[in-house]
Structure 1
């Protein structure tokens, strides 16, 4: 049954992609000195003013679940991020940025384009935010894990905790994302892209912080971030199977 649902979802995506057409022209991002990270304009602002409906959002999310999974858990290999429990503000901003050509994500664009108006953005975002954060996700698994976590904790608490919080909870009204429960490989990829100037809709304040870190330090920070949990927001542990 799960395979059938996945096949149907992918077929819906293909149809949506054909309807969506090519991604929009690239908008001016962080490479432009006039870039404003969170400009209060466009459909993002319209969606943020609307009250999302979880029932409608669950229906809209079905297409998203083909990659991010019905649980919102994403993929441990980092190809698709964990979305469950993410702030509506962050979800709306990122989807709007992709739709507007401000964030480059050709894989995601056909999905985002199927949400036809700000109300659908608000609906899907509120549904995703309501999902519990999976306790099982991709973490750093090297033989030096303990060392990496210790190093990463020191770096995180020095400059990352102020925005992303002690438990990786982020700040909703400032559009700082939840990172608790996020996959290690996804975190490492995104921070590397932000540092190297490839994430065009990045927050300039984060770029200033992260650009001084080398690859080894980013590995350590990502390892620690992927170990964070948000009390009260995580999914309940699965009951042990009866013999």
Structure 2
């Protein structure tokens, strides 16, 4: 049955159909005074308590690979993020938020909805976390790249490093994501949406930090972040190529 669901979902992608069902209902968000960024409830908590099975997770990931690629590399144009090597905590929270309607993602919702229960959330998250982080990903390509990266480094080290780490490794038990290897355009889009209040499941602590940055500063921070690598977590260099 799972294979049939995957096949049907992939067929929808091939036909250019984004919705395999109704979008998840809205249930408040950062704009609500009662919003709790990481409430300890729901299927997210159930999934976090379970041990993920990577073999089962690999099968469940097949439907994800159509957009995020079998390697978990995502798309350099920023439409789909790099997932490989991401913390299970972050993956489970984001999938659970999309399934519950707390994060608006109408493209991903139909596919997240194919995961049947908290165990499958844990399984696919475990598989994704175990993937090496691709070294080839979307970076800032402007002629002033060196300057932008230098500016971004200065800004990052002032307020981003504490949560996302020196090498973009994040903090697993605090649900802070890995950003090393992430695509420049995806980072810029997400930070802009968080700053502008369009990411309903954003961490309020991050909103307070990022809301003061202008577009040019977000470009610089994203340029630096997309240049980061995590020692021991990146994929091995391909023959004839340097990391």
TM-score scaled to structure 2, two decimals? 0.93
1:155 partnered with 2:161: no
CA RMSD in angstroms, aligned pairs only: 2.0
Give the deviation of 1:23 after TM superposition. 1.4
C-alpha deviations, 1:127-161, integer Å up to 9, x for none? 00000000000000100001100000000000000
SS of residue in 1 equivalent to 2:72: coil
The gaps in structure 1 that reach 5 residues or longer are: 1-5
Answer whether contact 1:13 1:110 (CA < 8 A) is retained. no
Structure 1 runs, 4 residues or longer, greater than 4 Å off: 6-9, 12-15, 17-20
In 2, Cα distance between equivalents of 1:156 and 1:41: 32
2:167 corresponds to which residue? 167
In 1, Cα distance between equivalents of 2:13 and 2:214: 38
* Structure with higher helix content: 1
Number of residue pairs matched by the alignment: 235
Give the deviation of 1:206 after TM superposition. 0.1
SS of residue in 1 equivalent to 2:160: helix
In 2, Cα distance between equivalents of 1:187 and 1:181: 10
The gaps in structure 2 that reach 5 residues or longer are: 1-5
| CA separation of 1:239 and 1:9: change in aligned 2, threshold 3 A | farther
SS of residue in 2 equivalent to 1:78: coil
| CA separation of 1:85 and 1:206: change in aligned 2, threshold 3 A | same
Give the deviation of 1:36 after TM superposition. 0.3
C-alpha deviations, 1:197-232, integer Å up to 9, x for none? 000000000000000000000000000000000000
Give the deviation of 1:13 after TM superposition. 6.1
C-alpha deviations, 1:17-75, integer Å up to 9, x for none? 99962012111100001100000000000000000000000000000000000000000
1:131 partnered with 2:122: no
1:74 partnered with 2:45: no
SS of residue in 1 equivalent to 2:44: helix
1:142 corresponds to which residue? 142
Answer whether contact 1:13 1:111 (CA < 8 A) is retained. no
2:3 corresponds to which residue? none
In 1, Cα distance between equivalents of 2:123 and 2:13: 19
